Structure 1
Amino acid sequence: MSGLDGNALLYVLIGLGVLALIFFVLWLISLSSKKKAMARQEEAFRKEQKERSDRYHEESEKARLSYKKELTEQKETLQKSIDEKALHIESLKMFSKDKGEYLTDLTLIQLKEQFIQDERIRPEDMHVLANIYIPGKRVKSTDKLDHVVLTRTGIYLIDSNYWTGHIYHGVSQMQFDGEPVFEDVFKILGLDPSVEQTIVLDKNKDGHATFRSYHHDLETLKLKAERLEKVFELPYPVTPIAYYNAEGVGSEQFTNFSRDNSVKVIVGEEELQMFFEKFVFHGRFQYKVEELENIMDRIEHLNP
């Protein structure tokens, strides 16, 4: 009987061992499943996190590119507006200059017609040419001449300036002692006191007085006159004239400090007419009618 009990106990123990082994195996399988589930969850989390990160970077990049594009468009719009304003300003400057040249041209033509009507000259005794170009070896060396007047008593190069306000012509450090305000104006405007400058005192839109400077180089005007004489092989020097004219501007609005007497300075239509009456038509003849026509033809040949 005890043998049977021992065998039964052994079987029980074996059964319990097997059962324990089965539970252990099941626990291992369950543990492995949990680990795999956790791994899958971690993988899914990492995948979702990566997708979120990729979406974030993608959206950030899209936002950056969109902002960059918008900023570029704004810059282009602003630059376009600036360019249009600059073009408008240049157009106004050109219109202002052309207006002055047009009025000077009109004045000279009317003077010629008046002289012909008064039988002071014949039509062939005077020629008025406007906007003349003398080409050089390079494009930048081409000179533009506002007006060239051909007469039998001489040839005149007129630089036309259409300005308003009180014009102080030929101001330099020579005037600082007598007119101390000019020294301050030169410092404020950054002008070279050793070079004669043209300064204008005018009234701005709000009614306050303001100083402006203009780059009006008499040396350049003289060089143009000399070049005109050289290019067309003229036998007599060309007379350079700095002509200031604008509505309401006469000799009382002009002060000439220039010490350069080689350039004739004329202010207003009346002075221009007086100059031609006094110096041109009472002077000694230098050119024949045929010579004037030849010079005019040669100038017009370069300015078709």
Structure 2
Amino acid sequence: MDILYKFMDNKILLLTTIVVLIVIVLGVLLILKKKNKNYDQMFEEFQMEAVENLSKVEKDLKQEKEQLVNQVKEGYESKISDFKEYVRTVEKISRTTSEVNTHNILTEIKEKLVLEGTIQPFQMMILDNVFFPFKKANGEIGTTKIDHIVLMKTGIYIIDTNEFHGDILYGISKENTKQFSFILDNLFPSEDDETEKTIVFVNKNKDPKELNVISFDDPSKQVMSGVDNLNQLLEKHIQYNSITPILYFHANKLINYSQNKIPYVFDDKQTLYKFFMRQLDGYNDVHSEDELEKMKNIIENVSIN
């Protein structure tokens, strides 16, 4: 019996120990589970806080970006405004007497063509002293000036006015004017025989025994540059552009030796009038009245004036 009681006591003790261990384990598990819940909640709260912080940072960056863009835009607009004002000032003092005279000649030609019934008033538009920006080869923005732009149904005509107080030999070269080759040899010793130059004979001192010979850079460079820059502007808006360059000289006398077909060269109103008549009679219309108005608006809107 003692052994049995002893055995029973040991068994009860073992069971009690097991029960205690089970309770401890359950307690530990409950504590861990509760902690895990706290961890999950903390992690979830951390995620929410992080999202809120990121949203706030993103919003702040967006506001800073908008402020920076506005500052750059305001600075750019201010510079453009100052530049336009500068160009307006330059424009006012850049109109020469010869340019005004050429404008009057073009206006008279237009009036004559309208009176003859050759064109309607809106079929010949004259724009004067046009400044507009263009992109240089290096990416910088430059400005170009075109003295006169004439928009007609037969095409676009750029006219550059040149004024010389003397007698002009235009497009002269050592090859095409051998009688003057000695002059060119002295003025341009290193030039090729085919290179065309412009020289002007001027009597500065009003002495019949004296004659000054002055050389000038190629007058056609300016008008041909205007063709390229205007074409660069219009090709984005008009499918077909026919731009014709013209040089108009105000001088005592002009002799044209140039072998180049363009630019066309004139020095009197009647010859220029006949040129426009040939254009209207001999060429098909390339621009509608709507296109003429559209080109006029494009040029005026982009023009810096």
Contact 1:153 1:283 in 2 (8 A): yes
Alignment of 1:110-129 (within 5 A): 110-129=108-127
Residue 295 of structure 2 corresponds to 295
Q: What TM-score, normalized by structure 1, do the two folds share?
A: 0.61
Root mean square deviation of aligned Cα: 2.5
The DSSP-based 3-state class of the residue aligned with 1:169 is strand
Rounded Cα–Cα distance in structure 2 between residues aligned with 1:180 and 1:104? 33
Residue 240 of structure 1 corresponds to 245
Which residue identity lines up with residue 227 of structure 1 in the other structure? N
For residues 30-82 of structure 1, give each alpha carbon's deviation from its aligned partner in whole angstroms, at most 9, with x where no partner exists: xxxxxxxxxxxxxxxxxxxxxxxxxxxxxxxxxxxxxxxxxxxxxxxxxxxxx
Contact 2:170 2:254 in 1 (8 A): yes
Gaps of 5+ in 2: 1-89
Question: For the structure 1 residues 135 and 287, does the alpha-carbon distance in structure 2 shift closer, same or farther, using more than 3 Å as the test?
Answer: same
1:108 maps to 2:114: no
Cα offset for 1:271?
1.1
Rounded Cα–Cα distance in structure 1 between residues aligned with 2:265 and 2:178? 24
Rounded Cα–Cα distance in structure 1 between residues aligned with 2:231 and 2:134? 14
Question: For the structure 1 residues 298 and 136, does the alpha-carbon distance in structure 2 shift closer, same or farther, using more than 3 Å as the test?
Answer: same
The DSSP-based 3-state class of the residue aligned with 2:161 is strand
Contact 1:170 1:197 in 2 (8 A): yes
Rounded Cα–Cα distance in structure 1 between residues aligned with 2:213 and 2:199? 7
Q: Which moved more, 1:220-229 or 1:177-186?
A: 177-186
Gaps of 5+ in 1: 1-90
Rounded Cα–Cα distance in structure 2 between residues aligned with 1:191 and 1:244? 27
Aligned residues: 204
Residue 263 of structure 2 corresponds to 263
Partner residue of 1:211 out of 210, 213, 219: 213
Contact 1:186 1:193 in 2 (8 A): no
Alignment of 1:41-56 (within 5 A): none
Alignment of 1:66-85 (within 5 A): none
Residue 40 of structure 1 corresponds to none
The DSSP-based 3-state class of the residue aligned with 1:119 is coil
For residues 198-226 of structure 1, give each alpha carbon's deviation from its aligned partner in whole angstroms, at most 9, with x where no partner exists: 11112212322111122234244223212
Q: Which moved more, 1:122-131 or 1:164-173?
A: 164-173
Q: What TM-score, normalized by structure 2, do the two folds share?
A: 0.60
Residue 169 of structure 2 corresponds to 168
Cα offset for 1:286?
0.7
Which residue identity lines up with residue 101 of structure 1 in the other structure? E
The DSSP-based 3-state class of the residue aligned with 1:173 is coil
For residues 78-129 of structure 1, give each alpha carbon's deviation from its aligned partner in whole angstroms, at most 9, with x where no partner exists: xxxxxxxxxxxxx9xx77x611111001110111112112222111100000
Rounded Cα–Cα distance in structure 1 between residues aligned with 2:192 and 2:98? 28
Alignment of 1:29-68 (within 5 A): none
Which residue identity lines up with residue 262 of structure 1 in the other structure? I
Rounded Cα–Cα distance in structure 2 between residues aligned with 1:176 and 1:257? 8
Residue 135 of structure 1 corresponds to 133
Contact 1:198 1:216 in 2 (8 A): yes
The DSSP-based 3-state class of the residue aligned with 1:141 is strand
Rounded Cα–Cα distance in structure 1 between residues aligned with 2:141 and 2:197? 24
For residues 138-179 of structure 1, give each alpha carbon's deviation from its aligned partner in whole angstroms, at most 9, with x where no partner exists: 777211111100000111011111223221011223246342
Contact 1:226 1:238 in 2 (8 A): no
Residue 230 of structure 1 corresponds to 232
Cα offset for 1:295?
0.3
The DSSP-based 3-state class of the residue aligned with 1:277 is helix
Rounded Cα–Cα distance in structure 1 between residues aligned with 2:162 and 2:190? 20
Whose Rg is larger? 1
Cα offset for 1:254?
1.9
The DSSP-based 3-state class of the residue aligned with 1:206 is coil
Which residue identity lines up with residue 211 of structure 2 in the other structure? A
Rounded Cα–Cα distance in structure 1 between residues aligned with 2:231 and 2:135? 17
Cα offset for 1:133?
1.5
Contact 1:176 1:183 in 2 (8 A): no
